[in-house]
Each structure stands twice: as structure tokens, then as C-alpha cells.
Amino acid sequence: MPPPPRAFALVWTESFARTARRFLRKHPDLDGILADVLRQLEKDPKAPRLRLHALHGRHRGTQAISLTYEYRIVLIVRFTPKEVVLLDIGSHDEVYRE
């Protein structure tokens, strides 16, 4: 049986790809969790498991999801063309740094 079609396309910015590589070298135990979260994002960015929430202040206009309690992925969700643009990944302090 073929996999279900993706509802959203994930767009990896160069910055996200670079940060994700460093993140996974530092936290190889989270590789499977990240893969699961990215698959869920493709299906439904608003799934309760992801805890999608809007950001404020200098990050206004972006949203964040939870990878784990400690780690976040910051992204932009473009619902019109059905894209999820991945911007950053890291701990709460790393992602929300000034």
C-alpha cells in the first residue's frame, strides 16, 4: 500500500539544514523523534502532539512546535501554498535567543 499523500511540503532553509545537522550530531538520540515530528508536520501542522503556537516579539509572524519538552523547531506555516518553512531547531534558549 503506498504511503498517504503529503498535505504540506516541508521547505528546509539553508540555515535550518545546517542547524539540524549540528543539532543531530549533538543529540543523535533525537534523530528518530525529529523524523517522526517532520512526518507529522507534513500530514498536519496543527496536530495537538506538535503543540503549534504563535510567537511574539522579535519572532512575530512565526510559530514553534515542540520536538521534546526541551527542544523546539521554529517555523513559518504558509497555509495557502501548503508549505511549512523550517527556520531553526534547538533548545528553548537557543531558538528564542535575542
Task: Report the first-to-last Cα separation within the chain, whole angstroms.
Answer: 47
How far is Cα 65 from Cα 48, in angstroms, rounded to an integer? 10
| Distance, CA of 63 to CA of 86 (rounded, Å) | 10
Query: What is the residue extent of each domain of the chain?
Result: 10-91
Single-letter residue type at 9: A
pLDDT 10s digits, 18-57: 999 999 999 999 999 999 999 999 999 889 999 999 988 8
Kind plus residue range of the DSSP H or E element containing 49? none
pTM to 2 decimal places = 0.85
* DSSP secondary structure letter of residue 8: S
For 10-91, CATH gives 3.30.2310.20
Contact criterion met (CB below 8 Å) for 64 and 93: no
